[in-house]
């Protein structure tokens, strides 16, 4: 990995710092000696629970910023004057995007455009990372997706992420900005909200193991995904901004598992047979969904010297341990 050099203390701005990735990225950057700023729509009212869980809330500068308001973005970027700007904001649930398509499109694509336009306007050498998504590729079937795989988005969320990806590529090529997108496949942690199916599975399994008589309600069990460990993936984000030339990268473990395997692993970790505790709920099915998500992260290994250490089994075990500790 060819790195650029920085002599002064680097300043990082994380848009969407309150989420899973934002919190882990903030911790990583603080550990590397960065001055870290994070934004939220209303920083005075935001709890920043994830930052508190990681014990770093008091070490992060928080500011209010409306991502869909160009003037607000301009004021905040000008004030913070970051060396590196990480865009992790926007409506992050694929399922919810079917119920809130307008909010999803605006928060992701318009928000990304405002950030890019502000960086172009201020004219400073800000390095910009955009959170892309494996959802842009759609159903990969037996052909693992790499950086040149065509997009086939199958949800409003994926359409918004695809639009943001092309905006980043356009500003990089048209204006010479240091701007790149990380096409991250599924990555989990104890900081995931329970509306995400992985956390829902883990939380329900742990409650049942503690005596609850509830059933785990799931939609499609035959979907397959590449699941990784979120704290590892933020390291890849940082590495992408250390290259001399900006590049887009697929970030994944390179191994795909069926959701049924994830469920079985979670219940086995608490000494239960999942078949005794899971029910199918057709109301949880999405209007359209990706059946198989496969990834080829070869470029990240070769150019970033990054490779996932943890696989699905490890991710489930670490999430279960954290959940049991909370209970």
Tokens 């970027």 sit at which residue?
77
Q: Which of 106-110, 133-137, 262-266, 284-288 has the lowest mean pLDDT?
A: 284-288
Give yes or no for residue 3 having a pLDDT over 70: no
- CATH superfamily, domain at 11-188+230-254+294-309: NAD(P)-binding Rossmann-like Domain (3.40.50.720)
Domain ranges of the chain: 11-188+230-254+294-309
What are the C-alpha distances in Å from 188 to residues 76, 81, 234?
30, 31, 12
Query: Is the predicted pLDDT of residue 202 greater than 90, yes or no?
Result: yes
> Which positions ≥6 away from 264 have C-beta within 8 Å?
274
Q: State the Cα–Cα distance between residues 268 and 202, nearest whole angstrom.
A: 11
* Stated pTM of the model: 0.94
- Per DSSP (E only), the strands in the chain are 11-15, 35-40, 61-64, 84-87, 127-131, 178-184, 187-188, 216-218, 224-225, 228-229, 249-251, 257-258, 278-280
DSSP 8-class letter at 292: B
- Which two tokens mark 250? 């697929």
When pLDDT is averaged across residues 154-170 and rounded to a whole number, the result is 95
pLDDT of residue 95: 78
The pLDDT value given to residue 2: 52
Cβ contacts of residue 71 below 8 Å, gap of 6+? none
State both tokens at 156.
């409003």
CA 308, distance to chain mean position in Å, is: 15
Active site residues: 133, 135, 157
Q: Give me the mean pLDDT over the 131-148 stretch.
A: 93
Higher pLDDT, 3 or 247: 247
């Amino acid at each position: 990995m060819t790195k650029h050099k920085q002599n002064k203390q680097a300043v990082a701005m994380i848009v969407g710092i309150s989420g899973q990735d934002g919190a882990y990225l903030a911790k990583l950057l603080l550990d590397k000696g960065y001055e870290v700023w994070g934004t939220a729509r209303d920083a005075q009212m935001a709890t920043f629970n994830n930052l508190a869980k990681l014990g770093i809330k008091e070490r992060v500068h928080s500011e209010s910023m409306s991502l869909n308001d160009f003037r607000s973005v301009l004021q905040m970027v000008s004030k913070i004057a970051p060396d590196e700007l990480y865009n992790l904001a926007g409506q992050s649930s694929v399922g919810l995007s079917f119920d809130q398509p307008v909010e999803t499109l605006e928060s992701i694509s318009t928000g990304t455009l405002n950030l890019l336009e502000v960086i172009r306007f201020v004219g400073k050498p800000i390095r910009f990372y955009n959170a892309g998504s494996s959802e842009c590729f759609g159903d990969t079937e037996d052909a693992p997706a790499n950086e040149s795989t065509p997009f086939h988005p199958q949800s409003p969320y994926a359409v918004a992420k695809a639009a943001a990806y092309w905006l980043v590529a356009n500003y990089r090529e048209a204006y010479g900005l240091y701007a790149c997108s990380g096409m991250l496949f599924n990555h989990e942690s104890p900081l995931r909200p329970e509306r995400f199916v992985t956390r829902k599975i883990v939380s329900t399994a742990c409650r049942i193991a503690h005596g609850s008589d509830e059933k785990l309600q799931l939609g499609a069990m035959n979907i397959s995904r590449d699941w990784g460990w979120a704290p590892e993936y933020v390291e890849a984000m940082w590495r992408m901004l250390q290259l001399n030339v900006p590049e887009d990268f697929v970030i994944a473990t390179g191994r795909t598992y069926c959701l049924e395997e994830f469920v079985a692993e979670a219940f086995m970790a608490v000494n239960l047979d999942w078949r005794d505790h899971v029910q199918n709920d057709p109301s949880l099915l999405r209007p359209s969904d990706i059946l198989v998500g496969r990834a080829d992260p070869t470029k990240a290994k070769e150019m970033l010297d990054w490779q996932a250490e943890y696989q699905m089994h490890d991710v489930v075990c670490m999430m279960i341990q954290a959940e049991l500790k909370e209970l």
